[in-house]
Structure 1
Amino acid sequence: MIDYNLFFQQNTIHDRWHTRLNNNIIQVQYYHRDLSCPYCYPPGPTTPQFVNFWDWYSTENPTGSYTSNTQQALEDLSDAPTIRDLWEAIYSLVFTVRYTDIPRPYTNLRQEIYNACILTDNFEKDFYGELLEVTSETEELELSE
């Protein structure tokens, strides 16, 4: 089972290193690496695919920030050649994000990301637009019966 408390404790420890070392990124990374730190791993330019992912994920979860590692994890998810690589990319997506509160259990998040990835063709499409389309099609089928 994934323990978010440990993840949050690691975030806190890492942030203390930033204070202790006056935000010297190289030294902070040397003493305590945290792939969810937006100061150590600032985000790069966003792709439309990432915007679709983040719009959905940040609406559904108590997110604070993402990093370049989050962006890379989404690319890895799209390019995953095996199911194992896919699950590893999802794990990286979840744990390269900073949260403002404890998110849902990891197994739920993992499944939700997988489902959203399938629904949106690897986030090439907007999640809520696709959900609306599926809902409309379902209602049309029910009315025609």
Structure 2
Amino acid sequence: MTETAPVDVRDVPFRDAAGEETTLRAFGDGPLLIVNVASRCGLTPQYEQLEQLQRTYGDRGLRVIGFPCNQFMGQEPGSMEEILEFCSVTYGVSFPIMDKIKVNGRYAAPLYKALKATKNLERAKGVVKWNFEKFVLTPSGELHRFGPTVKPDAPEVIAAIEGALR
């Protein structure tokens, strides 16, 4: 029996908001902040901090990437057009929003299956607990995982981002 090499998370395909297949590699070789988002959640104001991180660190290589998810009490029920309009009008979001996905269960997106299976430095395990769980993927492949209530501008998230910037 031969062992298969582990899949690099940056190579796992997913769909963008237009339905086109892409991977995390398309967003460059800098650090990535990957977040499952929702527009009708008590944590939705985190969009503001996510956008600020993109504006603050984007010129140094950070890419924030949002993945709408309707798995948690139906808090992202809209169409992609409605989601994109909400993000733009309400929070001035300039970072990319991908196609709506599932993050847990049998039909979880392959990217989220890979993120949850990759050892992270915080030793967080298991299912995504709620909307706005954050994954910081460094250029070297290290993964940091932060729970939904950890704000995007929390010191530990900033430290993970700054430690990965060029």
TM more than 0.5:
no
Higher relative contact order (CA 8 A, sep 6+): 2
Between structure 1 and structure 2, the one with the greater Rg is: 1
Normalising by structure 2, we get a TM-score of 0.26
Of Structure 1 and Structure 2, the greater strand share is in: 2
More helix by share: 1
